[in-house]
Amino acid sequence: MNPQVDKSVMTTSVILISGLVLLAVVLFMVAALVGVVGNVAPDDNSRKQAAVLERIKPVARVSFEQPKPAVAVKLSGVEVYNKVCAACHAAGTLGAPKTGAKDQWEPRFAQGLDTLVTHAVSGIRAMPAKGGDPSLTEANIKDSIVYMLGETGIKTDAAPAAEAPK
Ligand code: HEC
């Protein structure tokens, strides 16, 4: 054999072996890949179910939660008096019994505090209901009457009415 032929055989063998190694690597990689794919958990439809539930969920929900009540502003008797009642009762406007005029208030007080409250809440003759301020509560009215009577020197043994949000 001449060295020329030897060399070409060598080259052919190297190419062949390289090809085989390459093929082995490729086969190995394919096998590994198939193994990885096979290891994925079988689809039990749970993901699909979750997606469907998400898609068909109701647009709105009815809530039975109680809305928080607006914070009622607690006014004391004197505050209500100054804000509303004084407009007429300070000077006796429209014939209102004047604050401090005991002779005007005594016959009214003789009716009883509850009656005065009822009259002031619903209005009596020239006296508008709640003095014209419907935002006042019955407790506000009672507190301000007690205040007016106190300023007049008439003692009521009524404690300031508890604030009831109405
Ligand atoms: C627009 C004027 C006016 C305002 C404001 C007003 N009053 Fe009077 N009030 C009157 C007049 C007038 C009378 C007398 C009515 C009558 O007996 O003819 C009266 C009478 C009363 C009486 C006596 C009722 C009775 O049975 O004899 C009470 C109590 C009273 N007012 C409370 C209040 C209170 C409390 C306020 C504030 C929250 C208030 N008033 C605001 C005009 C007013």
The pLDDT tens digits of the residues spanning 53-86 come to 888 888 888 777 776 666 656 899 999 999 999 9
Atom of ligand 1 nearest to the CA of 118: 26
**95 CB less than 6 Å from ligand 1?**
yes
133: nearest Cα among 82, 90, 61, 98: 82
CA nearest ligand 1 atom 3, residue = 88
pLDDT at 72: 59
Q: Are 98 and 89 in contact (CB under 8 A)?
A: yes
Q: Are 99 and 86 in contact (CB under 8 A)?
A: yes
97: nearest Cα among 60, 133, 111: 111
Q: Are 95 and 126 in contact (CB under 8 A)?
A: yes
Buried residues in 11-20 as b, exposed as e (16+ CB within 10 A): eeeeeeeeee
Q: Which residue has the tokens 């007080």?
A: 109
- Output the CA 127–ligand 1 centroid distance in Å: 5
**83 CB less than 6 Å from ligand 1?**
no
**121 CB less than 6 Å from ligand 1?**
no
The pLDDT tens digits of the residues spanning 2-37 come to: 677 788 888 999 999 999 999 999 999 998 888 776
- Output the CA 118–ligand 1 centroid distance in Å: 11
How far is 94 from 41, CA to CA, in rounded Å?
89
Q: In the structure, what pLDDT confidence band is assigned to residue 166 with cuts at 50, 70 and 90?
A: very low
Burial class for 75, CB neighbours closer than 10 Å (0-12, 13-18, 19+): buried
Give the CA angle between residues 139, 140, 146 to the nearest 5°.
Answer: 85
**89 CB less than 6 Å from ligand 1?**
yes
The residue type of 27 is L
Q: Which two tokens stand for residue 81?
A: 């008096």
CA dihedral angle for residue 65, residue 71, residue 77, residue 79, rounded to 10 degrees: -160
CA nearest ligand 1 atom 31, residue = 120
Which of 78, 84, 88 to mutate to test ligand 1, by most ligand atoms within 8 A of the CB atom?
88
The pLDDT tens digits of the residues spanning 77-104 come to: 999 999 999 999 999 999 999 999 999 9
pLDDT at 58: 81
pLDDT at 46: 80
